[in-house]
Amino acid sequence: MAEEQTVRIGIIGLGARAETLLATIFEMKETAVTAVCDVREEKIARIHGIFDAHSVSRPKAYMDYRELLDDPNVDAVFVPTSWNSHLPIACDCMRKGKYVGIEVGGASSTEELWQLVHAHESTGVPCMMLENCCYGRNELMVLNMVRQGLFGELIYCECGYEHDLGEMSWAVEKRFERSIHNLRRNGDLYPTHGLGPIAKILRINRGNRFLSLTSTATKARGFAAALEAHTGKKADKVFNAGDVVTTVIKCANGETVTMIHSVSLPRPYSRNGRVQGTRGIWLENAGGIYVEGISPRYEKLDVANNPYTVHEWDKVESFYEKYDHPIWQDYRNNVIGGHGGMDSLAMRAFFDAVRRRIPTPIDVYDCAAWMSVTCLSEQSIAMGSMPVPFPDFTNGKWIDRAPEAPSRWALNEIYSD
Ligand SMILES: NC(=O)c1ccc[n+]([C@@H]2O[C@H](COP(=O)([O-])OP(=O)(O)OC[C@H]3O[C@@H](n4cnc5c(N)ncnc54)[C@H](O)[C@@H]3O)[C@@H](O)[C@H]2O)c1
């Protein structure tokens, strides 16, 4: 396929996420949605209405995604269904020779992740998780600074998904899948927004890997409280998902990563990013970066006249001009689409790989490592926070993998164009 050619996309799963992706696609004007699919007719009617409102011709509609995969007018597929169906659909896409971009979420078992890996290895067709946060401005700038050596040797990271989603408690009645996962399961159910960028920074699957984790869950009170506030009645449901789930991952190269999953308590949104090395640190919740030799550091006298060293944060924004990732240097004055511009970047990275028939910057090994946190954390919690080993989904390739395809969208190294 020629590099300038329009990628013809089929979208499977036409919920809220498909609508926001579509809004961004209409702004991007560099791809065409030629087919859509949902098991519910009303979702197809709704999405057709959105095409009409934008005066864009309606795509062909299917209720069985396997028929969409046989459509010769579909070059590649997005899968924004809910969590349990991403992986089997992705495997079918690869078996039909279609590049596939799955939405974010966690896995229910390591078995389904092995199936994903095997589908890729037996077909050679890529599957990318459309983890938009990997293309966030701050995440990419920190990646750039780390690769330039400003943080020294990496030691410790944190990340998370902390988002008040109390409304999921009453969406159970509507069979909203995410709500039902929170009702039935207890683990880190949504690991990839925080962990994806951190895994890339730590070179996971390329010279490093996740070895083991422990997870601990608090009691679960938040969803019941939200439901009671909403209905004015005593909650008639018992949610299993602990209000705060803390997971600690140990990496082969000696770093640890602490993750927080918290979606049922009142609080502002945060992905809780922290990247810390021997010479510098980024702390999302402080809005700051400290780099030895750059940030303010001075001697001060305390009341007893004992000198001590004061280290002060620099604002993250003060590094943009010099250290923005090349992607954001070009993009910062022309940001489009959802989630502060990250959505269009993740899609562009995918389209670039489809056009050039090269591997995607987030691959099946990344998907498997990141998504496995969900089912492994459930196991750890069920066993009283016992350590649980990560499978090596690369079967040893991580030790000395061939370099990734050079691309401006690459997430392991930095390429200017
Ligand atoms: N990247 C982000 O920033 C971001 C933001 C929001 C949601 N998401 C993710 O997007 C995904 C979808 O979220 P949502 O809120 O739109 O969910 P949703 O439940 O509203 O929509 C999912 C749609 O998929 C359809 N579906 C399910 N199984 C199907 C199948 N086998 N074939 C065809 N259609 C099928 C459902 O009928 C539904 O319309 C989730 O993985 C979610 O985590 C990502």
Residue 339 CA: which ligand 1 atom is closest?
3
Q: Is residue 406 part of a domain?
A: no
> Are residue 251 and residue 384 in the same domain, yes or no?
yes
> Are residue 76 and residue 121 in the same domain, yes or no?
yes
Residues 6+ apart with CB under 8 A from 251: 202, 204, 208, 209, 210, 211, 257
> Are residue 125 and residue 266 in the same domain, yes or no?
no
pTM for the model: 0.97
Around 239, how many Cα atoms within 13 Å sit in the side-chain half-sphere? 33
Which CATH number belongs to the domain containing residue 48 in this structure? 3.40.50.720
> Are residue 162 and residue 245 in the same domain, yes or no?
yes
Return the pLDDT at 222.
97
> Are residue 129 and residue 210 in the same domain, yes or no?
no
Q: Give residues (CB < 6 A) around ligand 1.
A: 12-18, 37-40, 43, 65, 80-83, 85, 103-105, 132, 176-177, 339
Return the pLDDT at 252.
98
> Are residue 31 and residue 169 in the same domain, yes or no?
no
pLDDT digits (tens, 9 = 90+) for 164-187: 999 999 999 888 999 999 999 999
Q: Is residue 281 part of a domain?
A: yes
Residue 124 — left, alpha, or beta (φ > 0 → left; ψ -120 to 50 → alpha)? left
Return the pLDDT at 304.
79
Q: Using the 3D structure, point to which of 108, 133, 158 is the last residue of a domain.
A: 133
Q: Is residue 330 part of a domain?
A: no
Q: Is residue 336 part of a domain?
A: no
Return the pLDDT at 190.
98
Return the pLDDT at 220.
98
Domain that holds residue 32: 7-133
Residues 6+ apart with CB under 8 A from 286: 313
Residue 89 CA: which ligand 1 atom is closest?
31
> Are residue 127 and residue 161 in the same domain, yes or no?
no
Distance CA 389, CA 308 (A): 42
Q: Is residue 408 part of a domain?
A: no
306-342 residues labelled b (16+ CB within 10 A) or e (exposed)? eeeeeeebeebeebeeebbbebbeebeeeeebbbebb
- Low-confidence stretches of the chain (pLDDT < 70) are 1-4, 417
Residues 6+ apart with CB under 8 A from 128: 99, 100, 101, 102, 349, 350, 353, 360, 361, 362, 363, 367
> Are residue 212 and residue 163 in the same domain, yes or no?
yes
- The one-letter code for the residue type at 310 is V
Distance CA 416, CA 326 (A): 6
> Are residue 280 and residue 146 in the same domain, yes or no?
yes
Q: Is residue 12 part of a domain?
A: yes
Residue to substitute in 14, 17, 25, 350 for testing ligand 1 pocket (most ligand atoms within 8 angstroms of CB): 17
Residue 240 near residue 223 (C-beta atoms within 8 A)? no
Q: Using the 3D structure, point to which of 103, 133, 163 is the last residue of a domain.
A: 133
Residue 65 CA: which ligand 1 atom is closest?
32
3-state secondary structure of 378: helix
Place of tokens 């305390």: 302
> Are residue 109 and residue 144 in the same domain, yes or no?
no
Residue 103 Cα to ligand 1 midpoint, Å, equals: 8
Q: Is residue 351 part of a domain?
A: no
Q: Is residue 341 part of a domain?
A: no
Residue to substitute in 21, 36, 81 for testing ligand 1 pocket (most ligand atoms within 8 angstroms of CB): 81
Residue 82 Cα to ligand 1 midpoint, Å, equals: 4
Which CATH number belongs to the domain containing residue 247 in this structure? 3.30.360.10
Residues 6+ apart with CB under 8 A from 3: 355, 356
Number of domains, the chain: 2
> Are residue 194 and residue 316 in the same domain, yes or no?
yes
